[in-house]
Structure 1
Amino acid sequence: MTQLGTVPIGSFSIAFQANLGYNFLGCGRKSALILCDRDRYIRFNCEICPFHLSKGLAVPLSSYADERDFCFYAEVMLLEIGFIGAGKVGKALGLYFERHGLKIAGYYSKTAKSAQEAALLTASTKFASIRDIADSSSIIFIAVPDQVLEIIDCEAVALINDHSISKEKTWIHVSGAHPSDILTGLKSAGCAVGSVHPLQSFGEPSNSAEQLEKVWFTIEGTEKAVQAAQTILDQTGGKYSLIEAENKPLYHTGACVISNFLVTLLESGIQLFAAAGMQREDIMPAIEPLIKTTLSNVREKGTIEALTGPIVRGDFNTINDHLQALAAQLPCELDLYKSMALKTVRMLENKRLTPEQAAKIVQILEETSHAG
């Protein structure tokens, strides 16, 4: 990467850097990538005059929102990342980001102990409330169980309505099953919302963070949230695909076929990912690390203990979402899903599923038809 020069903007010193695909945009109609030379990463969408740049002229950073001069316009995104949720996923993602030089503000969790552990792991801070973590972060990753997402959404919106936190924050959840608009309150309040899902099973945080170096991510959401996610993954070198929100349940179905059922045909999973919007040539590189992790878990724990996902959790709502998505969008895969799910239930009954949970899941499977 070639450094082209430095321009003072307010109290910041901005290093202009370029490589193939990154040139200057403005009067010369070229593009620019700008990185701050301090401890925060800044990505600019810029229109800038190369002549003015060569003279070292730029408007103050404080005026960018009000003054959109013909020769200079910058939209600034300060990447200081906070986490709500300090479980396996939150810790691993935070450690992964921190290892690549991204600034981790810290963690808020319902248990202070887990937040403290995550903060120590990532050299960051333990926060006592959603308000505190939002105040100290520009981007908030929500790494909580799926059923808690709507609760976090409601609590955050109440703080925004009370003017306790700014609506300018970006909120990103990491659920594979749900699209970004499950954060309906935040989206309605004008916040940027998105989802980033790593195609990986999670275990011990340090090992999982190392595995994240090889895994594939999917991104969807509002424009600002997608841009934030892309900026973060561009910094870490993570590979990703962009998908549509309405395809999120179908995408998650594909992940469950490959990761949870274990004995499925790879082609079935490939077709599901393709239907969800991924390029076919990207699919095998995306799923190879997931296959290796699953096989490793089977070798270490055996098939019963290696299983994860909605069936082993007795997560009736997500199972039903999968079935409805298949019936409506890819009915040719519905029978395979149902047969593998039924087999999985039988494997787990009286071991990790109670008889009542098993019976409920069987009922959901039997009630779903090709017509949905």
Structure 2
Amino acid sequence: MNEASESGQSVQGMQPAAWAPPEPGGLRAGFIGAGRLARALSLALQAAGVPVVRAASRSDASARALAASLPDCRADDADAVARDCDLVFLTSPDALIAGIARSVSWRADQAVVHCSGATPVAALQPAAEAGALIGGFHPMQAFGADPGAALASLPGCTVAIEAEPPLDALLHDLALRLGCVGLSLPPGARVRYHASGGYASQHVHALLAEAVRLWQSWGATERQALDALLPLLRGTVESLARSGVAAGMPGPVSRGDAGTVRLHRQALQAVDPEMRDLYDRLCRRGVALARQAGRLDAAGAAGVEQVLDAPPDP
């Protein structure tokens, strides 16, 4: 895919950089959108010495709840946030970002930043045309409904930053103050970056759902399945951290155990042929990883692939 087509448009050349942002402690920050990310990020910014003074949302109750959790913050409409804040975070649903950017009255002496992982920064072009600095600031983390737990999950996560100078330096400073790792994301990489997060979060849920279905096939409950599988998952994550993706992979494919793979396929085919098909696809990826790590020789790989190539047992 062409880099420009994936991102929609580079921010290069869109930002006049007529305004030099003050130090983070001298900023007045505001939020348009008051969901889980906004609640966690606003609390973190306040704790890091960046005052959050305005909040707006489609839901007045959500805006009031966010404002009530912060000193000197007031719930208001989106135009008031833009009028009174030096740094505005758009934390609304992705589909609303471009519309908000078009409808709000921006000004030259401010920065407008969205927190979407996949939306191009060019969606904020109306703010850039009004003279504002624009950028992206996306924490790669899943935020739960509990604001305290969401806040605790923020330190240590990576924040993808996409902005031109001087805003990029300010956003990296903010990430550092939040205890996060700032990542400069080049134009065109945003959607691929965001899709990568799905494999480490959303798709893990889908894979565990398949595992739970297997437990339920003999009458076990989801809770019983998760109690057994989550310690395994935690151990897997620890192995990944220590050894990396390829070298740390466990299981029969990494050992070239074609017999166990055959038995797995038979059992899964009996439960659901689509489940067996997904297993086959994942095993083929696993063969490549095991070969990459030097844990599986050509003969072992061929043995596993021969089993995967065979028609499933009826």
For the aligned pair, the TM-score class normalised by the smaller chain equals 0.5 to 0.7
| 3-state SS in 2 of match to 1:262 | helix
**Partners in 1 of 2:165 and 2:70 — Cα distance?**
28
**1:252 pairs with 2:194:** yes
**1:235 pairs with 2:177:** yes
**Partners in 2 of 1:228 and 1:75 — Cα distance?**
7
Equivalences for residues 76-87 of structure 1 within 5 A: 76-77=22-23, 78-87=26-35
| Runs of 5+ consecutive residues of structure 1 not aligned to the other structure | 1-64, 66-73, 161-165, 266-297, 304-338, 344-372
Shift of 1:299: 4.7
Shift of 1:264: 9.6
Cα 1:132–1:212 shift into 2, 3 Å: same
Match of 1:178 in 2: 119
Shift of 1:75: 6.7
**Partners in 1 of 2:69 and 2:42 — Cα distance?**
9
Match of 1:216 in 2: 158
**Partners in 2 of 1:120 and 1:138 — Cα distance?**
21
Cα 1:107–1:256 shift into 2, 3 Å: same
Shift of 1:152: 0.6
**1:106 pairs with 2:47:** no
| 3-state SS in 1 of match to 2:89 | strand
Residue identity in the other structure for 2:113: I
| 3-state SS in 1 of match to 2:128 | helix
RMSD: 2.9
Runs of 4+ in 1 over 3 A off after TM superposition: 74-78
**Normalized per residue, which structure has more strand?**
1
Shift of 1:201: 0.6
Residue identity in the other structure for 1:184: Q
Match of 1:294 in 2: none
Shift of 1:256: 1.0
**Partners in 2 of 1:299 and 1:140 — Cα distance?**
40
1:198 aligned to which of 132, 139, 152: 139
Cα 1:254–1:154 shift into 2, 3 Å: same
**1:94 pairs with 2:36:** no
**Partners in 2 of 1:248 and 1:214 — Cα distance?**
20
Structure with higher RCO (Cα < 8 A, 6+ apart):
2
Preserved contact between residue 179 and residue 220 of structure 1 (Cα < 8 Å): no
**Partners in 2 of 1:230 and 1:80 — Cα distance?**
17
Match of 1:121 in 2: 69
**CA shift digits 1:197-224 (9 cap, x unpaired):** 1111111211111110121111102223
Equivalences for residues 1-372 of structure 1 within 5 A: 76-77=22-23, 78-156=26-104, 159-160=105-106, 166-203=107-144, 204-262=146-204, 299=226
Preserved contact between residue 84 and residue 140 of structure 1 (Cα < 8 Å): yes
**Normalized per residue, which structure has more helix?**
2
Preserved contact between residue 67 and residue 75 of structure 2 (Cα < 8 Å): no
Shift of 1:120: 1.2
**CA shift digits 1:7-65 (9 cap, x unpaired):** xxxxxxxxxxxxxxxxxxxxxxxxxxxxxxxxxxxxxxxxxxxxxxxxxxxxxxxxxx9
**CA shift digits 1:341-372 (9 cap, x unpaired):** x96xxxxxxxxxxxxxxxxxxxxxxxxxxxxx
| Runs of 5+ consecutive residues of structure 2 not aligned to the other structure | 1-17, 208-224, 231-273, 279-314
| 3-state SS in 2 of match to 1:261 | helix
| 3-state SS in 1 of match to 2:189 | helix
- The TM-score with structure 1 as length reference comes to 0.48
Preserved contact between residue 143 and residue 153 of structure 2 (Cα < 8 Å): no
Preserved contact between residue 80 and residue 104 of structure 1 (Cα < 8 Å): yes
- Report which of the two structures shows the higher radius of gyration computed on alpha carbons: 2
